[in-house]
Structure 1
C-alpha cells in the first residue's frame, strides 16, 4: 500500500457518522487517503453488533470501517454536540445516515454545520432522500432492489423473481455518494462554498444496478428496459451456462471471430457451416441444436481444461467459481485484490482490499477498523485544523454551476462501462470528446433496427462530442497525441496492453503532458495471471462467484444473472471517483497519474463482508434465494394481481410487532416462539405463510404503503415503466425529458447523482453521431485549416458521419 501522503485525498478530513447504510462511502474515501474519523456513541455503534459475527466481531463493521480512526461522542449531551461542531469546523466532509430531521433536532443539521463551517461538504445518505412523500420510510437493501427496478428483471421466465445476492444496493449507493461528495468538494475548490449533498439510496439503486433509463448491454438486444416484456426476460441463450465434469462454465460468443473459434472447436460440423451462422441473429434460430452440440463437447471435461482450450481458440469462456474458489485462486491474490489482514485485534482473515489502483499501486485496506473510542485521546489532543477557507455567499442565492467546467477529456471508452464513465464527467461540465473510427466501431452504436442512434446510446453518450480519428494510422496517432497534450483526462476500457501497443501508454503521453490523468477499466485488471482473458460482464460475474450465488434455488442450475449489466455502471462510478480524486491531487502536486479499475474487483469489494466470513467460516457464503438470513419475515411475497410481488424485510422485534398489527395476526404476536429473531428464523415457514396469506389478497403498492406507515420496511416490485408514475421520483425530479434529433419522440432520462445546493443539474445535449464534431475539433483544438482537414478525411485519417446520415 502507498503511504497515506502519496494518496490523492491526503490532507482531507472526513467526519463519519454513517451507521448501517452505505458505510463504505467513508471507507472508500479512507482508501484514497482521507483522514476519516468514525464517530460512535459511547459503547459503540449499533453496527458493531450487526450480523454476521465471528468471535464477537461484526464482520460488517470490520470491512466497512477499515482504515478509519475511531472516537466516541454522546450527541445527546451538549458537550458532545459542541465537540462534534468543533471537529466539523476543521473538516472537509461530514457523512451522516440518520433519518431526515434527526440531526436537525439535535442542532446538528446541515444548516447548523454549514453555519459553523461554510466550506464543509455534508453528505446525507438516506433511504429515500430528504424530501418527498417517502422520505420517512424505512428501507433495506431488498426494498431498494424491488423499488429500483432490479427485481422485476431478475429470475427465470415464468417463475418468481429472485433477489440478487449481497448488499448491492447500499454498496453501490456508497460509491455514488462518494462521487457526489467529491463533485461538491471540487465545486468548493472553485467557489469556496460547501454544500449539502442529499443522496437517496432508492434513486442511486435505480441509476447504478440495472438502470432503466441508461445505456444497456447486449443482453437487451438494444431494446430499452421500458420496452422489455413484462415478465422476467430470457437471456439464458445469449450467455449460456453448460455443465461439465466438475461444475459449470459460461461462454459469451458474440463476434464473428468468436463464433469461428467455437465452430472449429466443435469440429466444424457441416450443419453449421453456412455463413449465416456468423451472426448472432443467424445462430439464434438454431440455439437448441447448437447448445446440444456444445453440451456434448463440454460434459466430460473439467472447467480448467475448457477455459484453457477456449482461450486458445478465442472463445470467451469462464468457470463458475464458488466464493471459496475465488478466495483460494491465484489471480486476485497476485494482484493484491485479496489480502490477508488483521481485521480486529487477534483476528486475521482474507478479504477484498479495495476498489482501485492508482499509479499501479493498490489504494485499499490500510489497517483494521478501530476499537470503540480507540483514538479519542489522539484526536482530541490534536490541535483543531484550521477551518477551510470559504467565500462568503453573495447576496441572494449563489448561481449553481457544474464543477468540471473547463476540463477536457478524451474518451476512448466503449460499450457500457466506457460510455458511462465519460457520460458522468460530461454531465458535470467536462468537454468530453469521444474518439472513434469506423474500422473499430463502438459496439453500443450497433442497432438491430438500423437507426442512426439507439435510445441506449443516446442515454449513455449525452453531452459528448465525437471526433473520428483512425488510431491505426501514424497520422491519426500524432493527431491524438496533439489532443492529449492539451487535455486533462484520457479514458479507455480496452483489453490490457492495447494503448501501449499503439504507442499511447502513460509513459508516452505523460512525457507530452505531465498533468494528464489516464484511467483504464478492464474485466479482470491489467495485471495477474487472468489479465489477458477475454472479459465480458457475464464472464466477470462467473469468475467472481456472483453467477453461482445469483440463482433460483428451487431449480437445478437456476442461474438468473443473464439479463443484468452489473457491474458496468458501478465500475464507471468507481472510476469517476478515482479520476476526480487524482485531479484533486493534481491541484496539490501539479502531476497527473493513472487509475485502473477491475470490474471483477468492484464485485468482490461489494461482497467484502460475506467473502471475509467465507475465509473464516468456509462454506458460509452460499445462495439464499429469496430468504433473508438474519430475521423473518425477510422475503418476497406474492400480491394480488398478475406477477405482482412485495418485499417485506423485518429487522428487529419492534418491526415484527408492527407487522403483526398491520396483517391482523395478534396470535403470532402472542406466540413466545416468535419473540426473537432467532425464534422467527427457526419458524420461518410459519411466519412466511402468515405474510403470504395477507399479501396475496393485497395489491403490492397498497401492501407497501400500509406496512411503511407502520414503520415496516417493504417495497413493491416496481417495473421500470412504473418509475413514470412513482410519486417519490416525481417529487425529487429523478427523471427529465431529453430530445435527440434522430429519435422521433421525447425521451425520459435520469437526472444527476444527488440533490445539491451549489451543483447544477446536467445539461441534456444530444449524443453525437460518429465523427459529428471532427471538423470542429480539428479546427479549434488542433488548429488545422480547412484544406488540411479535407485532405485528412480523404486519406481516412479523420472521419465524418457516414454519407446519407443527416447531422441533425
Structure 2
C-alpha cells in the first residue's frame, strides 16, 4: 500500500470506524512535536503533513539505521508520523480552506490572519517556550524541560548529583497535553462553529503532564507536596521499597491497612510487627526493622515466586524487569501493544500500536509514515461532521460525569473534564474512600487533593446496598460519561460493566484506566505507578550508570498524570463520535502501555540493532553541570558545531564545566540562552511560582479552600487559548458534601426518603462548612 493511500483501520474496517473520522488536520510541524498529529491520525482524523517537495529535514534527524539501509528515514520520523499522508508545502492555501485543525510551529504562518480568513479553524502554535515575552526565543530540550519543571531536582539519590530521567519523558508527556488542549478546542469549535488559537509551550506541557509539583500527588505522600521537600534529592526509597530476591529485585507498594495485613500474614505474623500501629503507613515508614525483615523473608524466592505470593495475599508487588523482559512478559505477549512497520525494503521495526482501546479495538497504526510529498494528495471524502452554532461557554458545559476515579489517574481524568465545564460528581463512600483523602495533618483536605479534585461535587453512596445501587443507576440514566481506574474486574463484580451500563443508557461513555489493561493474564493485578514502572522496564533504567542498586524513581509520579489526560482525550473523541452517531462507547487505557509507548523510539532502535542494523544517532548531548552555590545545577544541551561555537563565544577559552562552576545556574542559563544554546537551571518545586517565565504565562493560580488554612498554589489553564477563559475555581469537595443536593435535584428524592436513606446508611452527607 502506498504511504499516501487512503488509510485502513488496523481492525480491517474503513477509516470511518474510528471516532475522529471526518476531522481534517493539516500539519506543518517537524521533529518530536509531529507526534501530536499522529495521535489524531490514530483516532481516525485525516492528517496531511506539509513539507518541502524533497522532504523535510526531520526525515534524516535522530536515530538512523546505517548502511545497508542508509536510505531509510530516521526512527523518530517514523515514530511521529505513522498514519499520515504528505503533500508539498505549496499546497497550503488549497488544503487549509477545508481543514478543521492546523498544527504548526509558532510563527510559521500568521495565526491572526488565518483566524479571520477561516473562523472555524483551530490553530495550535507549538514552540519550546510559547509566545512568552523574554522567553519566546529560548531553546529547549527534554533535559532542559526536566530542569525547569522541577522534575530533575527530585530525580536521584540524597547527597548525589541530580539524575536525568531515562528516555524522553518530558517531551512525550508534553505531546499528550498538546493533543488534549487541541481536542478541547476542536470540540468547542464543533459546538459553536468558532475556532481558536492555542499558544502551546512544550515546557508548560511537560510541567503539567509528567509530574506536576503543584498538582495531585500520590497517596503515599499523605498530602505533603513536593514544594515542602528539603533541598537536595529526597530520601524516598522507603515509600515503595525495592528489595533483592533470588534472581533480581522486587518492589512493594503497601498502602492500605488491608494490604499490610496481607503482608503480615504472608510473613508469618512476626510478633515485632503485630502492634496495630503498623496499620498506619507512617509507622511502617518509620520502622528501622521492617524493610530488613522483608528482605530476609524474600531472600530465597525468585521474582515469580514473590509475585505469586503477593497476589495470593493481596499485597501490591511487582518484579523489576529490564526492557526486553517487559516486552516479552506474559501480559505484553498477550496484548501485543507493538506492531512491526516496514521502514525500508527488507527492514521492519516495532512501533507502539496506539495508547488506548475504544470499544475493545486498538486505536493504533493505520499506515506507515508517508513517503515524499505527493502533489495529488487531497482530503478524503468523509461524512459531514455535525456542527453547531451554540453561544460560546465552557466547552463541556452540560456534560454530566460520574467519577469513580481514585488516586492520581482518577483525579486527573475527572479534573480535566471538570475544568472545561463538565458537571463531575465524585462517587465514593466512607467505607471505600479515595486514598488521596488521607492527610499528614489535621485538615480534612490536603493541597494535593484540592488540586486534583477542584470543580467537582461529591456524593457518598453505598452501592453494595440494593437501594444505593438503584440510586446510582438512576444517575447513570442521566449521565454522559463514567470514569473509573480500578483494577480489572472491579466494575464487573458490581454489575457496572460497560455492557450493563450501555443497556441502561446507550449514549453512555465508559472509561477504564488500569495498570496493565482490561485483558491479558495481568488484567486483574493491582498496580500503582511505581509497580507499573518496575514491570515496564523503566525503574531498571532510572539508575546512575554502572550502579546496580541506585534506583532513583521512588519520588516520581508517572505515568499517572499523563494517563489521566489520555483518558480525557478518549472521552472527547467519543463525544465527537456521539455527535455523529448518537452512540456512546468504551475507552480503555493501560498505564504500562502508555509508558512503553513513551519508550517507543528506544524500543524500535533496540529491535533494529538485534536484527543486525547499525544505529547511528544525531550529534546531540545533554549533561548536568554543577554550578556555584549549594546544590546548584544547570543542564546544557549541545546540538552540533553551531552550539559548540556559541558556547566558546560565551566562555572564551575556559572549558564549559569550569565556566559553569563559578557562576550561579540562573546566570549561566541566561547567558547561554542569549547565545542560542539550550540550557536550564535546575529549579526546585518551591521556586517555580517565582520563575519569571511562569509568571509571564500566568501558569499558576493561588486559591483558597474553605478547609485549608493557607492559600493553595495550583495549575491554572491547560494552555493559553485566545477564546477560552481559564477554568473555574470551585473547591474540591468533602466526602459526600453534595449528597443531599444531588439526590434532591437530580433524582427528586423527598425529605422523608432522604431521611430514611441517611438513617439506613445507604447514603452519607458531610457538611460543607
Task: Mark the runs of 5 or more structure 2 residues left unpaired by the alignment.
Answer: 1-9
Matched, 1:5 2:20: no
Give the superposition deviation at 1:304.
1.7
The residue correspondences of 1:434-583 to structure 2 (distance < 5 A) are 434-553=426-545, 555-583=547-575
Matched, 1:161 2:162: yes
The 2-side partners of 1:62 and 1:726 are apart by: 36
Cα distance change, pair 652–131 in 1 and its aligned pair in 2 (3 A): same
The 2-side partners of 1:431 and 1:600 are apart by: 30
The 1-side partners of 2:430 and 2:385 are apart by: 53
Determine helix, strand or coil for the equivalent of 1:583.
helix
Question: Which residue of 37, 44, 69 corresponds with 2:55?
Answer: 44
Q: Do the aligned residues in 1 keep the contact of 2:191 with 2:387 (CA within 8 Å)?
A: no
Question: Which residue of 49, 62, 68 corresponds with 2:78?
Answer: 62
Report the more deviating stretch, 54-63 or 702-711.
54-63
Q: Deviations over 1:653-677 (max 9, x none)?
A: 21121111111138xxxxxxxxxxx
* 1:760 corresponding residue in structure 2: 725
Q: Do the aligned residues in 1 keep the contact of 2:197 with 2:722 (CA within 8 Å)?
A: yes
Cα distance change, pair 43–629 in 1 and its aligned pair in 2 (3 A): closer
Q: Deviations over 1:58-95 (max 9, x none)?
A: 1111111111112232xxxxxx2xx2022111011111
Q: Do the aligned residues in 1 keep the contact of 2:193 with 2:388 (CA within 8 Å)?
A: yes
Q: Do the aligned residues in 2 keep the contact of 1:639 with 1:695 (CA within 8 Å)?
A: yes
Q: CA RMSD in A?
A: 2.2
Matched, 1:124 2:125: yes
The 2-side partners of 1:447 and 1:620 are apart by: 54
Cα distance change, pair 387–249 in 1 and its aligned pair in 2 (3 A): closer
* 1:293 corresponding residue in structure 2: 293
Cα distance change, pair 131–701 in 1 and its aligned pair in 2 (3 A): same
The 2-side partners of 1:128 and 1:116 are apart by: 27
Q: Do the aligned residues in 1 keep the contact of 2:386 with 2:579 (CA within 8 Å)?
A: no
Determine helix, strand or coil for the equivalent of 2:119.
coil
The residue correspondences of 1:128-147 to structure 2 (distance < 5 A) are 128-147=129-148
Matched, 1:652 2:640: yes
Cα distance change, pair 530–344 in 1 and its aligned pair in 2 (3 A): farther
Give the superposition deviation at 1:19.
0.9
The 2-side partners of 1:366 and 1:476 are apart by: 44
Give the superposition deviation at 1:386.
9.3
Give the superposition deviation at 1:759.
1.4
The 1-side partners of 2:384 and 2:164 are apart by: 47
Give the superposition deviation at 1:383.
8.4
Q: Deviations over 1:520-575 (max 9, x none)?
A: 11011111111111201100001111101111226341111000111111000001
Give the superposition deviation at 1:182.
1.1
Determine helix, strand or coil for the equivalent of 1:10.
coil
Give the superposition deviation at 1:256.
2.2
Q: Do the aligned residues in 1 keep the contact of 2:190 with 2:388 (CA within 8 Å)?
A: no
Q: Do the aligned residues in 2 keep the contact of 1:187 with 1:759 (CA within 8 Å)?
A: no
* 1:84 corresponding residue in structure 2: 92
Q: Do the aligned residues in 1 keep the contact of 2:461 with 2:764 (CA within 8 Å)?
A: yes
Matched, 1:244 2:249: no
TM-score by length of 2: 0.94
Q: Deviations over 1:477-501 (max 9, x none)?
A: 1111100101100001111111111
Q: Do the aligned residues in 1 keep the contact of 2:386 with 2:580 (CA within 8 Å)?
A: no
Q: Deviations over 1:570-607 (max 9, x none)?
A: 00000111100000000000000000111111111111
* 2:3 corresponding residue in structure 1: none
Determine helix, strand or coil for the equivalent of 2:706.
coil
* 1:663 corresponding residue in structure 2: 651
Q: Do the aligned residues in 2 keep the contact of 1:326 with 1:544 (CA within 8 Å)?
A: yes
Report the more deviating stretch, 320-329 or 527-536.
320-329
* 2:306 corresponding residue in structure 1: 306
The 1-side partners of 2:400 and 2:219 are apart by: 30
The residue correspondences of 1:259-338 to structure 2 (distance < 5 A) are 259-287=260-288, 289-338=289-338
The 1-side partners of 2:129 and 2:727 are apart by: 21
The residue correspondences of 1:195-274 to structure 2 (distance < 5 A) are 195-274=196-275
* 1:703 corresponding residue in structure 2: 668
The 2-side partners of 1:741 and 1:439 are apart by: 24
The 2-side partners of 1:691 and 1:387 are apart by: 56
The 1-side partners of 2:685 and 2:133 are apart by: 19
Q: Deviations over 1:373-420 (max 9, x none)?
A: 2x433438x7899999797xxxxxx98631001110001101111011
Q: Do the aligned residues in 1 keep the contact of 2:513 with 2:590 (CA within 8 Å)?
A: yes
Give the superposition deviation at 1:24.
1.7
The 1-side partners of 2:277 and 2:417 are apart by: 41
Determine helix, strand or coil for the equivalent of 1:582.
helix
The 1-side partners of 2:353 and 2:48 are apart by: 20
Cα distance change, pair 620–538 in 1 and its aligned pair in 2 (3 A): farther
Give the superposition deviation at 1:629.
7.3
Cα distance change, pair 346–371 in 1 and its aligned pair in 2 (3 A): farther
Give the superposition deviation at 1:226.
1.6
* 1:29 corresponding residue in structure 2: 40
TM-score by length of 1: 0.90
Cα distance change, pair 234–630 in 1 and its aligned pair in 2 (3 A): farther
The 2-side partners of 1:696 and 1:554 are apart by: 25
The 1-side partners of 2:426 and 2:270 are apart by: 42
* 1:376 corresponding residue in structure 2: 375
Q: Deviations over 1:29-75 (max 9, x none)?
A: 111001111222232222211221123331111111111112232xx
Give the superposition deviation at 1:328.
2.1
Give the superposition deviation at 1:698.
0.8
Q: Deviations over 1:280-325 (max 9, x none)?
A: 22222324x2222222232333222221222122221111111111
Give the superposition deviation at 1:339.
2.4
Report the more deviating stretch, 774-783 or 745-754.
745-754
Question: Which residue of 706, 714, 727 corresponds with 2:679?
Answer: 714
Report the more deviating stretch, 55-64 or 440-449.
55-64
Cα distance change, pair 695–797 in 1 and its aligned pair in 2 (3 A): same
Matched, 1:609 2:601: yes
The 2-side partners of 1:276 and 1:164 are apart by: 36
Q: Do the aligned residues in 1 keep the contact of 2:192 with 2:391 (CA within 8 Å)?
A: no
Cα distance change, pair 695–789 in 1 and its aligned pair in 2 (3 A): same
* 2:584 corresponding residue in structure 1: 592
Give the superposition deviation at 1:191.
1.6
Cα distance change, pair 649–292 in 1 and its aligned pair in 2 (3 A): same
Task: Mark the runs of 5 or more structure 1 residues left unpaired by the alignment.
Answer: 74-79, 392-397, 622-627, 667-689
Matched, 1:728 2:693: yes
Cα distance change, pair 399–384 in 1 and its aligned pair in 2 (3 A): closer
Cα distance change, pair 297–163 in 1 and its aligned pair in 2 (3 A): same
Q: Do the aligned residues in 1 keep the contact of 2:385 with 2:580 (CA within 8 Å)?
A: no
Question: Which residue of 399, 404, 407 corresponds with 2:399?
Answer: 407
Q: Do the aligned residues in 1 keep the contact of 2:543 with 2:551 (CA within 8 Å)?
A: yes
Give the superposition deviation at 1:619.
11
The 2-side partners of 1:651 and 1:300 are apart by: 49
Determine helix, strand or coil for the equivalent of 2:376.
helix
Determine helix, strand or coil for the equivalent of 1:243.
strand
Determine helix, strand or coil for the equivalent of 1:591.
coil
Report the more deviating stretch, 304-313 or 577-586.
304-313
Q: Do the aligned residues in 1 keep the contact of 2:129 with 2:135 (CA within 8 Å)?
A: yes
Determine helix, strand or coil for the equivalent of 1:295.
helix
Question: How many residues align structurally?
Answer: 751
Q: Do the aligned residues in 2 keep the contact of 1:180 with 1:753 (CA within 8 Å)?
A: yes
The 2-side partners of 1:611 and 1:219 are apart by: 31
Q: Deviations over 1:726-758 (max 9, x none)?
A: 111111111112111111122222111111112
Determine helix, strand or coil for the equivalent of 1:22.
helix
* 2:88 corresponding residue in structure 1: 72
The 2-side partners of 1:553 and 1:219 are apart by: 28
